[in-house]
Amino acid sequence: MAEQADGQALDEVVTFTSDLIRIDTTNRGGGDCRERPAAEYAAARLAEAGLEPTLLERTPGRTNVVARVEGTDPTAGALLLHGHLDVVPAEAADWSVHSFSGEVRDGIVWGRGAVDMKDMDAMILAVVRSWARQGVRPRRDVVIAFTADEEASAEDGSGFLADEHAGLFEGCTEGVSESGGFTFHDGAGRQIYPIAAGERGTAWLKLTARGRAGHGSKVNRDNAVTRLAGAIARIGAHEWPLRLTPTVRAALTELAAVYGIETDLTDVDALLDKLGPAAQLVEPTIRNSANPTMLDAGYKVNVIPGEAVAHVDGRYLPGAEDEFRSTLDRLTGPDVEWEFHHREVALQAPVDSPTFARMRAAVEEFAPEGHVVPFCMSGGTDAKQFSRLGITGYGFTPLKLPEGYDYGAMYHGVDERVPVEALHFGVQVLDRFLRTA
Ligand SMILES: [Zn+2]
């Protein structure tokens, strides 16, 4: 039996990434998206490999695909591999290539979705097809899910699958998806491969201040705008206390080891200073955060409105939701109400699990110069919805990236693109991980 993905898989991952980019699955929110052609494309590629994909829709055109590769050990927990099919909009005028061309130029695949995350969708397809050619079966069942609607509410995608089709995910204990296993260059010659083992929770808040409406020329101690402004200013200025989750502790400890510096978690600021650019892998996830983003009040300069509304983008760490709530109660005060406009759970995955060790080993095999460390994602993915099924989520979309390529800027950015070599690496690493998982 061949030990790794074949040459055809390396060709196919490029073709599939490019083809999927050309299928415009822009998600503008509010239901304005159609994933169906991309879902049909993916399903056809799976069917060619002898799998039996199921297409599922809550809303016509918002199509999800689920398939199962049977493993050799029926007693082992199944592994969920998932990738979303939708992408965020691209403003064509800003781009140096057509944003949905999927053009391959000078060893780079260009277009919206190249890293978020049609690359991973293509890698999954390429790997399972190479297994079919080689007669490979993984030890664990591997459940593949291509989802709709990740870039909006996930209600037509992973939320729908988790709530309405739990049976398709029977036996799944762990999931693997976007944002992890990529090369982070520290600018001093070190290459770090962060693997995600956690996500902050999402807390989009609506604040409402009420008061006494009246004439703008009169004394008014119950002014809703003044009350709201006070609350917003307190939230914006609040310094959230340091909170180290297990993943972030492990990240700091491992990064300190990479840099040969002492791990002193009692003085995290000093430690972050010493880590230099690598500090950005942990900085967004050592605290809760709450940023005021929208304000809405009044309709005329000489009329005091009876109500004023604001929105705040809050994120909380695993285990820190209660503290987040009580802090918001205190910062808003008695005159301003707040509620979750949209709320999603925080996730924490163990970094000492066999699965994490196998992801690490797969990266180390194909990038021996790299240092693998765990990290926590500051935002969220479909793993939040799948966690309702008891599935522990990791972020692992392996990509070997050249220095100077700004991976973070590709997400939802202009000129999103991915090197062909990065896709080849991804296929090899994903294949190795899944064979040994
Ligand atoms: Zn994504």
199 is catalytic: no
Question: Which residues are CB-contacts of 60 (< 8 A; sequence separation ≥ 6)?
Answer: none
Question: Which residues are CB-contacts of 406 (< 8 A; sequence separation ≥ 6)?
Answer: none
Contacts 24+ apart (CB under 8 A), 35-42: 35/61, 35/62, 35/63, 35/64, 35/85, 35/86, 35/148, 35/149, 36/61, 36/62, 36/63, 38/63, 38/85, 38/146, 39/63, 39/64, 39/65, 39/85, 39/146, 39/148, 42/85, 42/121, 42/125, 42/146
Distance from C-alpha of 131 to C-alpha of 104, rounded to nearest angstrom: 26
pLDDT for res 270: 95
Query: Which CATH number does 7-179+381-436 carry?
Result: 3.40.630.10
Query: Of 12, 35, 141, 150, which one is the catalytic site residue?
Result: 150
DSSP 8-state symbol, 182: B
**Domain positions in the chain:** 7-179+381-436, 200-344
pTM of the model: 0.94
Average pLDDT over residues 303-328: 97
301 alpha carbon – ligand 1 mean position (Å): 42
Average pLDDT over residues 118-147: 97
Mean pLDDT, the chain, integer? 96
DSSP 8-state symbol, 223: -
Identify the band that residue 203 occupies on the pLDDT scale cut at 50, 70 and 90: very high
How many other C-beta atoms can be found within 10 angstroms of the C-beta atom of residue 296?
12
335 alpha carbon – ligand 1 mean position (Å): 38
Average pLDDT over residues 174-189: 96
85 alpha carbon – ligand 1 mean position (Å): 9
The two tokens of residue 8 are 């055809």
* pLDDT tens per residue, range 344-403: 999 999 999 999 999 999 999 999 999 999 999 998 999 999 999 999 999 999 999 999
364 is catalytic: no
Average pLDDT over residues 12-17: 98
DSSP 8-state symbol, 50: T
Query: Of 86, 151, 156, 344, which one is the catalytic site residue?
Result: 86
Asked whether the predicted pLDDT for residue 246 surpasses 60, the reply is: yes
pLDDT for res 307: 98
Average pLDDT over residues 243-249: 97
36 alpha carbon – ligand 1 mean position (Å): 18
Distance from C-alpha of 81 to C-alpha of 176, rounded to nearest angstrom: 5
* pLDDT tens per residue, range 215-237: 999 999 999 999 999 999 999 99
177 alpha carbon – ligand 1 mean position (Å): 9
Length of the chain, in residues: 437
List the end-to-end C-alpha distance of the chain, in Å, as a whole number. Answer: 17
Average pLDDT over residues 263-285: 95
200-344 to CATH, choices 2.120.10.30, 3.40.50.970, 1.10.132.20, 3.30.70.360? 3.30.70.360
The two tokens of residue 350 are 């163990």
Identify the band that residue 2 occupies on the pLDDT scale cut at 50, 70 and 90: low
Average pLDDT over residues 32-52: 98
pLDDT for res 335: 94
The two tokens of residue 264 are 């002193």
The two tokens of residue 26 are 């822009």
322 alpha carbon – ligand 1 mean position (Å): 28
380 alpha carbon – ligand 1 mean position (Å): 9
The two tokens of residue 221 are 């101690």
What is the four-CA torsion angle of 97, 153, 168, 122, rounded to 10 degrees?
10
DSSP letters along 184-237, please? EE-SSS-EEEEEEEEE-EEEEEEEEEE---EETTS--TT-HHHHHHHHHHHHHH
Give the type of residue at 28.
R
**Residue indicated by tokens 């896709």:** 423
